[in-house]
Structure formats: C-alpha cells, structure tokens
Amino acid sequence: MASLTTQPSKKSLRTPAGSDGSQRSSSGQTVKFARRTSSGRYVSLSRDDLDMSGELSGDYMNYTVHIPPTPDNQPMDTSVAAKAEEQYVSNSLFTGGFNSVTRAHLMDKVIESEVSHPQMAGAKGSACSMPACDGKVMKDERGADVIPCECRFKICRDCYMDAQKDTGLCPGCKEVYKVGDNEEDPLDYSSGTLQLPAPDGSKRDPKNMSMMKRNQTGEFDHNRWLFETKGTYGVGNAFWPQEDMYDDDEEGFKGGMMESMDKPWKPLSRKLPIPAGIISPYRLLILVRFVVLCFFLHWRLRHPNEDAVWLWLMSVVCETWFAFSWLLDQIPKLCPINRSTDLEVLRDKFDMPSPSNPTGRSDLPGTDLFVSTADPEKEPPLVTACTILSILSVDYPVEKIACYVSDDGGALLTFEAMAEAASFADLWVPFCRKHDIEPRNPESYFSLKVDPTKNKSRLDFVKDRRRVKREFDEFKVRINGLPDSIRRRSEAFNAREEMKMLKHVRESGADPMEPIKVQKATWMADGTHWPGTWTAPSSEHSKGDHAGILQVMLKPPSSDPLMGGADDKIIDFSDVDIRLPMFVYVSREKRPGYDHNKKAGAMNALVRASAILSNGPFILNLDCDHYIYNCKAIREGMCFMMDRGGENICYIQFPQRFEGIDPSDRYANHNTVFFDGNMRALDGIQGPVYVGTGCMFRRFALYGFDPPKPDKITQSTETEMQTLKPNDFDPELDVNQLPKRFGNSTLLAESIPIAEYHGRPLADHTAVKYGRPPGILRVPRDPLDPAAVAESVSVISCWYEDKTEWGDRVGWIYGSVTEDVVTGYRMHNRGWHSVYCITKRDAFRGSAPINLTDRLHQVLRWATGSVEIFFSRNNPVLASRNLKFLQRMAYLNVGIYPFTSIFLIVYCFLPALSLLSGHFIVQTLSVAFLIYLLIITICLISLAILEVKWSGIGLEEWWRNEQFWLISGTSAHLAAVLQGLLKVIAGIEISFTLTSKSAGEDIDDIYADLYLVKWTSLMIPPIVIAMVNIIAMAVAFSRTVYSTVPQWSKFVGGAFFSFWVLAHLYPFAKGLMGRRGKTPTIVFVWSGLIAITLSLLWIAINPPAASTNDTTSTGGTSGGFTFP
C-alpha cells in the first residue's frame, strides 16, 4: 500500500529502532513468539533465550519478532525474509489485552481436517532439512516450497533466520545467501505508470525478469515486449512519448501514454428522475389532502358533539396527531429518484490493460468487509460460514478484498467453523469464478429450484457441480459435527490432565483421597487451551471475560493472478485465478467492569484492527445471516464512490431483501414500503438512513471528519500523493490531540490520511476538484508482519477506547439500541450525503423472523431505539444547519413515530366506545362530514396508487404494511414508549421477554415458525382491542334491532370504524390461531377476563335505562339491566 511521500513507508514504520533487539508496537505491546510441542508445552524459538525459562511465568519464552536491520544484518529486507514473516504471522494465533503481553501462538494445527490452500493458516511445506528440527519449509502462493538457495537445501523459517543471523551462509552448500535473487522487488506505481526497462539498457532494472517470460502458450509475447521495453520492430514502430514531451500541469498524466484522455469521459452513475406524469399528480394530491385535512379539523372543532363531549374531544385530539404524523411521513417523499450504474465504464477506467498498465492490474480502491456474530447457538455457524464464502467469492479484485469476522462470543465453535469455511473456499471460490455462479452462497445455490445448467457454456459444468455438491455436503457434516467434536476432544484432553495430576499426586506423596481439581478447559485442534470462552466458563474464559484473539485465516494474496492447473484440485482450474482474499478472525477482549457496547463496540474494534492490517478506504458491513446475492454488488456501490462528486458520499445503503418469508408476507417482513418507498424518496434529499446491514461506508467518514472542502485544501500539481495531515481535514483538530480522539496507536493515526487519499475518485475530469491520479492503487500490498498484527491485537483490547472519542464522534455511535440510525444521522449532520443503491439483481439477501412474537420483539427493539433518539442529543431538532430541512423532517419522524401508538390505541377503542354508549364522534352524520371523509379517503387511495407506481411495490404489499402498522402500533410501539419514558424519567430498565414457548411440530415445513405461538405480554393490547370491538358490535347490533326507534346511522358509523380496526388486526388473529386453529388457553383466558371486566365496568358506570313499555309491564321497576 502506498504511503505518504513525506512519511516513511509502512514497513519502515514497523521496523524497530534501537539496539536492544526487542520489537514493540507503538502502544508498547511486546510480541512474544513460542512454538507448541506435541505435549502442548511452549518452548522458545530463540537459541539465546533457552536459559530464560525460569524468568517468565508459564511456558512462554521471549523471542523478538524482528531483528533490527543493522549493517551486519541486511538480509532482513529480502523478499524471502518478508515471506517468512508473513507466513509465520498467518500460522500464529495472536492473543493479548489489558495489562498482558501480546503473544503469538504458533498453530501446528487449526482444524481437524487437512489444510491444502497455501494462503490458509496451518498450511505447511516439506520438512526442514536441518538436524533435530521439526519445522516446515515456507510455501509460496502456489503452495510450492520456498527455497532461498540455489542448492535447493530445504530450510524452515526459524533455521533460515538463525543462519542469517549467525553466519549468513546456507547450511547446505556453505555459500553466502544471495540477497535479492529470489524475487523481484516491488515496482513503484506512485506515478500512475509502471517503471519498465528501456531497450538500450540504460535504465534497465536488473531484477525485472519480465523480458524472459513468455505468455501462456509458450510463445514470445511481442506486444508485452513493446510495452515493457519501449522498443521498436523497425518500420512501423510502437511509439511511446517521452516523459517530458507533454508539458502538462494536470496531476497524474505526466509520462506514459495518455490513454485516459483519448477516450471521452463517461459518468459511472446517473440520476433517473421519476416521470412527471406520476410525480406531479403525487405532489398535487399531497397538497390537496393537506388542505382538506386542515378544513376537516377546523370543521370538527367548530361542530362538537354536545351529547358526548368526551368522545368528541378524544377523537379530535387523535385526528390532529394523525394529521401531524402523516405530514412528517409524507413531506420527505416529495423528491424520490432512481439511480443507475454503468459497470462497463467502471471496468474500462479501473481494470482494463493499457500501455501504462499492460498486466491489467486493478486501480480500484480496497474494501474491507465486516461480518458480526455473537452467539453460535442463536446464529448457526453454518449460516455464518456460508456468508463468508459468498464474500470470499465476490467479483472484485482479490488483492483489494479483506474479510473480517467479529466473534463477540469468543467461541471455539465459531473459530473452527471459520477455519473450515476458509478451507472449503479453496474449492468453492475458483468454482464460482470458472462457471460464473450466482448466488455464491453454497447453501442458497444448491437449494435453487431452477435448472442449474441454464446459461452455462462449459462442457464440464455438470461434472464440476456434482463434485462440489458432494464436497459441500461433507463440509456441512463437518460444520454440524463441530460441537460434538470439540466436546469429545476437550473431554479427552481434560481426562489426560486429570491423569497427569493424579500421577503427580502419587509421586509427590500427597493424600490420594483429596479430590483433584482440574479446570474443564476447551481445547483446540492442536492440543492447547482455547484462549476465548470455554464451554464450562471459568475465570478469563467466559463470554464477558476473555483475552483478545486475532487469527489471519487467509493471508493476503499475491498482487498478480495465480492460475490453477488441471491436477491441482479435484476440478480442472486451468485459466482460473485460484487466489483467495484476506480473511481474519477477530474476537475483541472483554473484561468485567467494562462497557463493551454490544454490536457497535464490536464494529469499532474491527474498524481499528482493519485500519492497521489492510486499511481499505471503504467498509461494507453485513450481518452473519446476510450474504452477497449479487457478486458485483461492491462494484455497483463503487460506481457512486468513484464518480464525480463521490468524495461527498459517506455511505452507500443497499436495500434489505429477505428469504424464507411466507408467500403472503403476513407480518410485512419484506418491509418493501420502507425500503422501496421511503428510502428511495430520501435518496432525493440528502440520502437514506443507515439501517444496520448491507451498507458500504467511506472509512474516512466513519472517523468523524467533515466532508472534504477542496477550496480550503491546496492541491498539489505533482503526480505523487499529496501530503495531508488529519488537521488539514479538520482545522479544529490539534495533531497532538490525535490520541484523545483515536487512541494511542501510531499505525492507526498514520493510516487515516492514506485511507482518505485512496478513497478519492479519479481526477480524470476537469470537474473533479478533489481526486487522485490514475494508477496509484496498482501498488502491491505490503506483506503482513508481526508488529502490525500485534498492534491490531492491542487496538481491540477493552481499555483502548478509554478517554477517546470512539463511540461518541468516531466510528459507530454508542448509547442507543439502534446505533445504526444514530451513526448515519451524525454523518448527515456533518454535511455528508448518502446514496441508495437498488440493483437489478438483489445485492444482498438475509433472513427475517416470520413468527409473530419474534417479529413484535424485533419491532420493539427498533421503536425503543427511536424513543431513545428522541430524548437524546441526537434529536434532529438540535441538528446543525448541514442537515437539510426535508432530511430533518425524516429523522424527526424516526424519533416520533412510536408516540403515535398512544393516540392509535385510543382511536382503536373509540368505535367500541361509540357503539356501547350509543353516541358517535359527531353529533350527526351530516353531509359535510361525509364529504370530508370521502375526499380524504379518495386522496389516500390515489396517493397509494401513485406511490406504488413510482416505488415499484405492490398494492398487496402496501396493504400488508398498513395492517402491521396498526398491529405494531398497538403493541410493540406502546411498550417502547413506556420503556423509554421509564428509562428517561425514573432510570428504570424494563424488558419484555417471552413467558411461554411451544415447539414447532413439522420440521420439514420451512414456514413452521409462522404457526408457532409464543405468548408475550406485547399481545395483550391488540387482543383487548379486538375483543372489545367484537363485543361492542354485537351489543350495539342487538340494541339497535330491538329498540323502538332504531338509530342505524350511529350503528353503521361505529360499526364501520370497528370493522376498519378488525380488518387491520386480521393477520394478528391468524397468528394467534396457529396451525389448524390451535390457540393457547391463555389467549382465551385473558380475552374473556378482560372483556367481562370491561363490560361489567361499563354497566356499573352507565347502566341502561328500561323503556316505558317495559317499566309498565314490570310494575314500575326501573333502572335495572334487561336483555333485549
């Protein structure tokens, strides 16, 4: 990765200074290496430290990670040494944390199964030829042994380092190692062009061996020779202009062929406005309905119901709030837009070979993908593993992708499941590339009910698919068998420890009758303790108390494609790139007494760790059950980030799409009205809100900086990277105060300007005032070194965020259940814009709860977060001027909508109260009232039809959304308001949990959860509303039929609104019925008890008077209740 021109490179930054021979990260964390023996003990890897065993606790020995590059120790800078360090890092499990040494545990074995891919942790070469050494030879990208000497003497990394340190001679041939003969030095790409040799040899690079290489057919590649040598073939030569031929002041275009200027400039994305025939009537109807509502409310205030003022007053208050709530929801929908992307233009600009880039190395910026999981029991490891596989096989330059999985539970089950996924990716990822597979989640792909051979041209597809399907079935068996495998392994090792302890007791002469206490540890595949959470929790090994863990499952790939062969795997991968993206397992440190801030804290830990390891300018976060359904999704988002004006975009939000939803979508799980309507409308203002998953962030925006202001930053005219410091982006930020904002990691602070620069769009147009020159991102990534990984472990420790601005200004924001909305709001409040990217093929797909109770609890969490936002400093009323007015209204609606439940519940009881009392909300059903009601209804229906037109949703989806709005509004939203008020006023935390559960009966039915009835207190208000309205309709109908002068107008008015309420509650009633009408007894008990209580209460308050005829016939008795 390129670094700032006036600053040392990342590699030099990580090289220790001083002569003490110890390697420390910038935070003072010492890295110690140890090798596990077959007995599980740790022995030193340094011969000089063998006599220090008594000075350290446990079995760990001091070993310096790097030997300082002194004049007598120059071989440390060779490519062999760098490869050795990188492979050593990828085979080590790093642990550390608060007041502890960062240790790297060399993993002899990561999983029970065999590891084959050379990038994966645990991959080993041949045995070392040194006497009494059990080490393994280093492997290159193809899996071949790395042999640093021409004599072909096989030597492991440790022996090689010792030989270099002692004599510098090869132990095999006793000759001096030739530094630099084994690999080409990385080329300088900072100027935008490849530095290639001249034909006359005056500027020839002696280490550039490309002239000696031939193409894949074995023939001499003339075109490549012309490009790389600027040579000629007599008449008709290929002319390359000299670097000083064009006196051009444009940054990034000096030297080389100016092929980017020869092509007409094309945008990467376009705005597609809604047709005027749809949006103009839509806006007009909004205005008409608003005016009619004003007149209607004025008429209601002028015509009270004198017979039932209480009923009239409640209805008017509720109707006024509904009008206000509708206005908040409708105003942000005035400017909806659509967008389109052009992937071909993106490919031409960034991926196409050219005279300055003959190999076609991509100039796209890097992207780090985050996947979060917390509990393998609630989030099955197989689901997470399939999500990881869909990420590793994404259609994006392999070297520009880095995947990070956050295991907030620190479970060994998740760790080994991720290792199994990395192992299976060796077969799955090249298979997807070879046959252009979609989707690239193997579980979803093999479950498709379509013809798999459709649009497949290769003759070996069916055979390859059959083999991969067999391997995937075995993969699932291994994943599902991991819990038993870990349990049996741990029991065996614990039994061995007990036997050792018993033997020790017998030998020491202690009392054999005294019980032996041995910790029930959880053991890894290599026979050592798991540093995370144990199955039987103990001190420093529980969910809330364990060390930080970081394992590079797949080390960074090589910069150039690595083509497979016919005999490498069970499938012929000839002409298929077999490289895998970088993959890292992270479990942040947790200790008692620290607030770990749930998912937001886990995301911020990944932000810091990834900034040091890969520092991708963009971050895409996904839930563990949301996988990449469209392999080109990242390219779609990059079309907006890399387009003109993309420097002002903080994130790209993709719509959430779900699988496994019942066909009728009973509880509006697809939520298409929000994702296709509201979010598309916000895209026309300042951008959609952040909804938690499927979002591509600009890393620089997550760091809490304001959007760039090109007019205030002096642009450099050189092709080299412009040197910018954090205070150039934030004038109020003192450089000396960086640790206060970002923590005390030097590598993290130095990565900020690099990420900002690499995330800029190309400066390929005069209108792009804040860009970067083409070609600077073709530089290969620096190899991993232990100091960087150790620094990553230190920044995921529980103490790192103390006295910093993480969670307050930087990263994901803390303090709310819905940290996603708050994080997006803070960015918009600083002036950033966001974009909504709807792709033709869904970008991501996930799962959603189809059970009524689970759905209500999901909505409860969202509504609780909204109430917290309303009562916090994140209330949009307090926002800055950077937040646009319509965007402010949208965020205000996010905080206010739960309070609508108070008025909604009252209004749902009004029809029943009207029917029971014999009064209506108006004195009489006058013509004016009916006309107002008709106009408002017609406007509502017309707006719904037009909204369906411009958003693309269906009428049935719109109606399902309306139904669940009332269901959630009378249950979860009300509970959220009560919970929020109690928290704000009294500081009381309450939670609504399940009180009874039943198991599903049909495991073969994918919709079995739909019929599962799990009682929760959230169901009480809707049940009461439904029962009261049904009873009220029955009572009112009987009273009207048997009355002397039937008043059908009042009954019809009340019955109409009661029917309106019951029609909205119909999905809720079906959910209570379960399968085949089996309803829990508690439902009938609650319903009957509450209905009888309300009926008796009403009779006691307002007993019905007997009619005159009845009084005469009963001898003058009056005032008693009589049945009709």
Catalytic residues: 408, 820
What ranges in 708-785 are assigned the alpha helix state H? 726-729, 738-742, 746-758
Residues in contact with 582: Cβ distance below 8 Å, sequence separation at least 6, in sequence order: 401, 402, 403, 552, 554, 555, 556, 557, 613, 614
Helix (H) or strand (E) run with residue 584 in it: strand 582-587
Cα dist from 118 to 124, 401, 939, 1070, whole Å = 8, 18, 65, 55
Cα dist from 887 to 831, 933, 1024, whole Å = 11, 31, 37
| Nearest C-alpha neighbor of 420 from the set 341, 355, 473, 476 | 476
Burial of 514: CB neighbours in 10 Å, binned 0-12, 13-18, 19+: exposed
CA distance 68 to 63: 13
For residues 679 and 653, the answer to whether their CB atoms sit within 8 Å is: yes
Ramachandran region of residue 440, left (φ > 0), alpha (ψ -120 to 50) or beta? alpha
Give the Cα-Cα-Cα angle 949, 950, 954 (nearest 5 degrees).
Answer: 45
What ranges in 247-380 are assigned the alpha helix state H? 259-262, 276-302, 309-330, 343-350
Residues in contact with 518: Cβ distance below 8 Å, sequence separation at least 6, in sequence order: 494, 497, 498, 501
What would the two tokens of residue 703 be? 């760091």
Q: Residue with structure tokens 């030193």?
A: 44
- For the chain, the 3-state helix, strand and coil shares in percent, each to the nearest 5, are 45, 10, 45
For residues 1075 and 1046, the answer to whether their CB atoms sit within 8 Å is: no
Residues in contact with 463: Cβ distance below 8 Å, sequence separation at least 6, in sequence order: none
HEC per residue, 878-933: HCCCCCCHHHHHHHHHHHHHHHHHHHHHHHHHHHHHHHHHCCCCCCCCCHHHHHHH
Instruction: Please provide residue 673's backbone torsions phi and psi, each rounded to the nearest 5 degrees.
Output: -60, -40
Beta strands 31-36 and 42-43, pairing class: antiparallel
What would the two tokens of residue 196 be? 């290639």
What would the two tokens of residue 744 be? 């005390």
CA distance 933 to 452: 54
> What secondary structure letter does DSSP report for 869?
H
Beta-bridge partners for 339: 271
Which of helix, strand or coil describes residue 556?
A: coil
Count CB atoms within 10 A of the CB of residue 919.
19
Which of helix, strand or coil describes residue 548?
A: strand
DSSP string, 120-158: BTT---SBP-STT---BB-B-TTS-B---STT----BHH
Count CB atoms within 10 A of the CB of residue 1077.
8
For residues 274 and 680, the answer to whether their CB atoms sit within 8 Å is: no
What ranges in 396-481 are assigned the alpha helix state H? 412-435, 442-445, 461-480
